[in-house]
Amino acid sequence: MIPSHVPPELVKDCPVADRKVYFDDVFATRLTQVHAETPPVYWCPNIYPDGTGSWVVRRVADLKDVLADDELFTARGFSGFARMIGEEWDVIPVELAGERHGKFRKVLNPVFTPQKMFALDQQVRRRATELIGAFEKRGSCEFVREFAIPFPASIFLDLFGLPQEELQQFLEWEYALLHTPDMAERIQGTLAVKAYLMDAIDKRRKNPTEDWISQALTYEIDGRPWSDDEVFGYCFNLYLGGLDTVTANIGLHIRHLAAHIDQQEELRTDPAKIVLAVEEMMRAYAAVTTFRTVTRDTEFKGVTMLAGDKVAISTSLSARDPEAWEAPGKIRFDRRPNHLAFGSATHRCIGMHLARRELHVAIEELLKRLPTFRVDPDQQVPFWLGSITQVQKLPLVWNI
């Protein structure tokens, strides 16, 4: 149902709400069309994950205003995972707001500095080369299944001191949490992940090691150690981001390079350009849509919003905003974009430097070890358009 305060002329569809597969480049078509066909702020009746409605803010400048006003547009509980299983823990730090968010970020920011993430380079590179080695002599691969999915997941398991043998189980839970419309499956997946991670936390309390779970048990907030729910909320956040978001980014970036051989060769010739290329592809193929909740009745950009309304923060829409980017559909490695793929203001992604390291290493090692690769001309690439936009399969071929 459309809320009574939403004018009929502001009710529009949003492709992020489709939650379906397309075989065209959805960034170049459907996400670009939104900017030509909809108002800057409008109501989509089914974009929220439970199938209800939310305001959609499509312009980069306006999205930055939403992200900057933590008091008016709160992140509290936006994922819905705790509420789904009848609990009240937070996904940390992404579901925190105000002073509490600032306190947790003060603890975590020094943990995720660029220097500390660069120190993981050898570990990250080892996982990349192991995976590439399994298919480089074959002349083809299904890149998502053989690299984009297991690469960040295996790194997550390494950092959290969890056995690589658990990889398939973690991926099955991740699918249940983020990719099935079946609420019962999502609930069971959430319960399973919580039970597993809480057990791991309990084991680290008794026998600490050098992994990230053990480190989190040493963190303090307001002069006290983090609670088990707080440590779990932090681990759960890195589980979601480490598995699904990085997988989406790697798949989208390699799909672009496979379809644009000139730019692939540009990076082969000058690998130093990979750093800026990653930033431009993060801008052009931003993958994630999250949400905020309006805390009080307000008027935003000429639109009346009421307390309790949801607001979609879609980086996928921001990717093709013509008011923010000159020729947004043109991928230019010298653009140096100030993109929203990792958020903005105080809500920039805590793991962004780790994600950048993984993306940089993945592209560098693939270009180093594989000859020119292309999308298999006999197959299509399915784009999943939803809260995390990604390619579901990426059949690559190269000469051996």
Taking all residues of the chain, what is their mean pLDDT, rounded to a whole number? 94
Q: Phi and psi (nearest 5°) for 305?
A: -115, 140
Domains and CATH numbers, the chain: 8-398 (1.10.630.10)
CA dist 159 → 210, 216, 329 (Å): 9, 12, 36
What is the SS3 assignment for 399?
coil
The pTM (predicted TM-score) of the whole model is 0.94
- Residue 329: what pLDDT? 96
Q: Mind listing the pLDDT tens digit for each residue in 357-393?
A: 999 999 999 999 999 999 999 999 999 999 899 999 9
Triad 365, 370, 376: Cα angle to 5°: 120
3-state percent breakdown (helix, strand, coil) of the chain, nearest 5: 50, 15, 35
Q: Cα–chain-centroid distance for residue 229?
A: 23
285 close to 252: Cβ distance less than 8 angstroms:
yes
What is the SS3 assignment for 211?
coil
| First-to-final CA distance of the chain | 57
391 close to 252: Cβ distance less than 8 angstroms:
yes
Query: Does the pLDDT of residue 77 top 90, yes or no?
Result: no
- Residue 1: what pLDDT? 84
User: Distance between CA atoms of 256 and 73, rounded to whole angstroms?
Assistant: 34
Note the residue count of the chain: 400
What is the SS3 assignment for 149?
coil
Residues of the chain with pLDDT > 90: what percent? 87
Q: Mind listing the pLDDT tens digit for each residue in 111-131?
A: 999 999 999 999 999 999 999
Query: Does the pLDDT of residue 323 top 80, yes or no?
Result: yes
- Residue 183: what pLDDT? 81
Angle separating helix axes 274-284 and 352-369, nearest 10 degrees: 120
Q: Mind listing the pLDDT tens digit for each residue in 149-186?
A: 999 999 999 999 999 998 889 888 888 887 776 788 88
- Residue 78: what pLDDT? 85
- Residue 103: what pLDDT? 95
CA dist 302 → 14, 305, 338 (Å): 20, 10, 26
Q: Mind listing the pLDDT tens digit for each residue in 239-293?
A: 887 778 899 999 999 999 999 999 999 999 999 999 999 999 999 999 999 999 9
Q: What's the average model confidence in pLDDT over 21-34?
A: 96
Comparing 241 with 148, the larger pLDDT belongs to: 148
Can you read off the two tokens belonging to residue 235?
């681990």
- Residue 286: what pLDDT? 97
Can you read off the two tokens belonging to residue 255?
């799909």
